[in-house]
A = this chain, B = another copy of it.
Amino acid sequence: MAVGPGTLPEFFPVAGVKLGIASAGIKKPGRKDIVLFELAPESRVAGIFTRNQFCAAPVTLSRRHLAQKAPRYLLINTGNANAGTGERGMTDAIACCGALAERAGVSPEEVLPFSTGVIGEPLPVEKIVRALPEALANTDENRWAEAASGIMTTDTRPKGASRQLDLDGHTVTISGISKGAGMIRPNMATMLGFIATDARIEPGLLQALAVELGEKSFNRITIDGDTSTNDCCMLMASGQYGGPEIRPDSPTLAKLREALEQVYLELAHAIVRDGEGATKFVTIDVAGAAGQKEALDVAYTVAHSPLVKTALFASDPNWGRILAAVGRAGVPDLDLNALEIFLGDVCLVRNGGRADDYSEERGQAVMDREEITIAIDLKRGDVRETIWTCDFSHDYVTINAEYRT
């Protein structure tokens, strides 16, 4: 089950970025479970990583390598997260990077490892190493769609986004893929995003964009509030678009940022739409906050409330549950009589209770839709934050309760 259309876009190839695919047989024989990104020299990479303290070995190693050298390869395996694997996990991640580096003629620090799949099982290093020649042999700029499928674990569909834009007469291409369906899929370590462009972007700016855009997109979605040990989102820039380097003061930056943001949002939203058991795609928009923290506290408290989420599943405009969630979000001195809550364009709460012009029929009409916005105006300031989530269905329980049976 998933919300809305799930067709992959037509991917534009990104000059300087090749993808290789192979089958290591990590979980199932024949399944494409290895994806390589091969980056042209001079490429630059930035990224953001999980805030879970128990991050997986490949996350720790990717951070370290990224701080040491400009990467030439990203090595992704699915089927095994190499998380909760103790010291051996780090040894295994180092071994995979070393094997790829040797065969590709680069140094091990130029390889970033990413793993997704089951937690707590040792990484099958030999299988991965045996598959590397196949992946290296078939790298090509036109394998984005295969790569989108190659990084899936229990996602119900591949996720991708692609854009071209003109920057002062030079065509810039942006393509990206993502995976993830719960913040931690049953026993799975989940969210990965890889976005590449041929734009030439000044390194500090690239890192700033990776943080800013990740914050606005992948860090604003939640399925169940569980943060995976393996989440990573990487932004790669090959620099081959033919135009000048884009810097913080470049007039072309605004347009590039907008296009990148669209790709980030599409990829992040695709994860929510494919949320475990999701039947609704829900936007939670908190306005009128006095600060960012309180805006996000309110938004996430509503998004994580099992009572709100089950009401969304039931298409039940149960405004009391939304109101009660706002009230327990920990915002000091919140004025119940001032705030307003809207479901789509229908006002649910005003003057401390159900809005006078609210009717069950009007609320129901909004709730019956597949895409729903809950808008909360705290009337305390001018800070606004938006996050995205999905509902909580019988299928969520089924997927997560019966995963190993």
Contacts of A284-315 to chain B: CB distance below 8 A? 304-307, 310-311, 313-314
Residue contact A224 to B319, C-beta cutoff 8 Å: no
Residue contact B226 to A311, C-beta cutoff 8 Å: no
Is A404 in the interface zone, CB < 8 Å from B?
A: yes
Is A83 in the interface zone, CB < 8 Å from B?
A: yes
Contact (A310, B405) CB under 8 Å given A120-B354, A229-B324, A354-B84: no
Contacts of A238-269 to chain B: CB distance below 8 A? none
In the bound assembly, the distance between CA atoms of A224 and B398 in angstroms comes to 18
Is A53 in the interface zone, CB < 8 Å from B?
A: yes
Interface centre among A184, A186, A400 (most CB of B within 10 A): A400
Residue contact A318 to B187, C-beta cutoff 8 Å: yes
Question: Which of B53, B320, B393, B403 interacts with A119 by CB under 8 Å?
Answer: B320
In the bound assembly, the distance between CA atoms of A327 and B397 in angstroms comes to 22
Residues of B within 8 Å of A225, CB to CB, are 304-306
Query: Could you give 24 example pairs across A and B, Cβ below 8 Å?
Result: A53-B328, A53-B334, A54-B323, A84-B323, A84-B352, A85-B352, A88-B353, A118-B320, A120-B319, A184-B320, A187-B318, A189-B324, A224-B306, A227-B327, A306-B392, A310-B400, A314-B401, A314-B402, A316-B401, A316-B405, A318-B403, A392-B397, A394-B397, A394-B398
Residues of B within 8 Å of A318, CB to CB, are 186-187, 403-404
Is A52 in the interface zone, CB < 8 Å from B?
A: yes
Contact (A324, B52) CB under 8 Å given A318-B186, A405-B314: yes
Spell out A's residues near B (CB within 8 Å): 51-55, 83-89, 118-120, 182, 184, 186-187, 189, 224-229, 304-307, 310-311, 313-314, 316, 318-321, 323-328, 331, 334, 336-337, 349, 351-354, 392-394, 396-398, 400-405
A314 to chain B, nearest CB (A): 4
Residues of B within 8 Å of A324, CB to CB, are 52, 54, 119, 184, 189, 226-229
Residue contact A401 to B229, C-beta cutoff 8 Å: no
Residues of B within 8 Å of A224, CB to CB, are 305-307
Copies per complex of this chain? 2
- Extra A-B contacts (11), CB below 8 Å, given A54-B324, A226-B325, A314-B405: A52-B327, A54-B334, A84-B319, A84-B353, A84-B354, A87-B352, A225-B306, A226-B321, A311-B400, A313-B397, A392-B397
In the bound assembly, the distance between CA atoms of A85 and B356 in angstroms comes to 11
Closest 8 pairs between A and B when the two form their complex, measured CB to CB: A54-B327, A119-B320, A314-B401, A310-B400, A86-B353, A86-B352, A227-B328, A224-B306
A14 to chain B, nearest CB (A): 33
Residue contact B394 to A320, C-beta cutoff 8 Å: no
Interface centre among A227, A306, A323, A392 (most CB of B within 10 A): A306
A202 to chain B, nearest CB (A): 33
Residue contact B226 to A86, C-beta cutoff 8 Å: no
In the bound assembly, the distance between CA atoms of A186 and B314 in angstroms comes to 12
The residue on B at minimum CB distance from A336 is: B54
Residue contact B400 to A306, C-beta cutoff 8 Å: yes
